[in-house]
């Protein structure tokens, strides 16, 4: 079958995939002391020699070595909502009617084992922190995993949203559960810390944190936690909130279904 005629590529040139990386091998040989010239720091030699493999390979998250996996049995996964990537479009009134806050999506088997009802409030805890949020059952999530969008939760008053907006009252971020640093893996240097990131690319370990669930206690507020003080308007921003109501600037553009008014 012609991939060009099928519209998959513009040309029929051979596709070459480079599986072996000479660059990574150069770093690894230096860490192993097999080359002359510039050398890596001594305390990072083992890390570079282990992870700068010129061929792709799988290894468990680095955080696993610093975590009691039995105490924190679930892997927490975050993803950006396509409609609000990096909080963009958070002020879009139509989108906010569809999803103005996020839930923690959990397999029903896992949630029921923790004693949490569909739509109920729960605590999600890692060894680094905890958040309170609403949970929804989802068969699409593996039993050993929890998942959520991670760009909707905001501080009260952020992005010029009204006080008490869903994004602040119901939305949450898993950032509170993720550490920027991990204990250094060598037991001889317990005081040293190292970045919680991929050794090669530096990508933060967003998908590596392990968590556990427990139901929120009766009487706890039906709002996400932690809550932070309401943000004040920054200089130069038009409009402000007065006694809980917004003082609208003289000219604001409003959009409605089927018409536009100013």
Contact 159, 241 (CB under 8 A): no
User: What is the C-alpha separation between 115 and 71, in angstroms, rounded?
Assistant: 17
Low pLDDT (below 50) residues in the chain: 241-244, 248-251, 262
Contact 172, 132 (CB under 8 A): yes
User: What is the C-alpha separation between 193 and 245, in angstroms, rounded?
Assistant: 47
pTM equals: 0.81
How confident is the model at residue 243, as a pLDDT? Answer: 45
How confident is the model at residue 127, as a pLDDT? Answer: 96
User: What is the C-alpha separation between 243 and 193, in angstroms, rounded?
Assistant: 46
Paired tokens of 72 = 């924190």
Show the domains of the chain with their CATH numbers.
22-59 (no CATH), 72-229 (2.40.40.20)
User: What is the C-alpha separation between 190 and 119, in angstroms, rounded?
Assistant: 42
Q: Quickly count: other Cβ atoms within 10 Å of residue 211's Cβ.
A: 24
User: What is the C-alpha separation between 190 and 30, in angstroms, rounded?
Assistant: 25
Paired tokens of 169 = 């009252």
């Amino acid at each position: 079958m012609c991939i060009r005629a099928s519209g998959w590529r513009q040309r029929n040139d051979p596709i070459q995939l480079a599986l072996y990386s000479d660059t990574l091998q150069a770093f690894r040989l230096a860490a192993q002391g097999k080359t002359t010239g510039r050398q890596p720091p001594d305390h990072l030699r083992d890390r570079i020699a282990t992870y700068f493999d010129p061929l792709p390979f799988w290894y468990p998250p680095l955080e696993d070595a610093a975590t009691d996996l039995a105490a924190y049995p679930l892997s927490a996964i975050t993803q950006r909502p396509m409609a609000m990537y990096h909080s963009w479009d958070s002020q879009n009134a139509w989108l906010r009617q569809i999803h103005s806050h996020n839930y923690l999506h959990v397999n029903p088997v896992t949630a029921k084992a923790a004693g949490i009802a569909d739509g109920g409030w729960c605590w999600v805890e890692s060894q680094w922190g905890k958040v309170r949020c609403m949970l929804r059952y989802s068969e699409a999530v593996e039993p050993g995993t929890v998942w959520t969008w991670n760009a909707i939760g905001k501080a009260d008053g952020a992005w010029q949203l009204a006080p008490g907006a869903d994004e602040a009252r119901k939305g949450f971020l898993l950032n509170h559960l993720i550490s920027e640093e991990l204990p250094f893996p060598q037991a001889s240097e317990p005081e040293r810390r190292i970045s919680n990131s991929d050794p090669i690319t530096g990508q933060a370990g967003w998908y590596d944190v392990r968590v556990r669930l427990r139901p929120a206690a009766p009487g706890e507020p039906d709002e996400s936690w932690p809550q932070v003080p309401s943000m004040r308007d920054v200089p130069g921003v038009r409009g402000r909130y007065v006694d809980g109501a917004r003082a609208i600037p003289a000219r604001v553009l409003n959009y409605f279904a089927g018409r536009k008014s100013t």
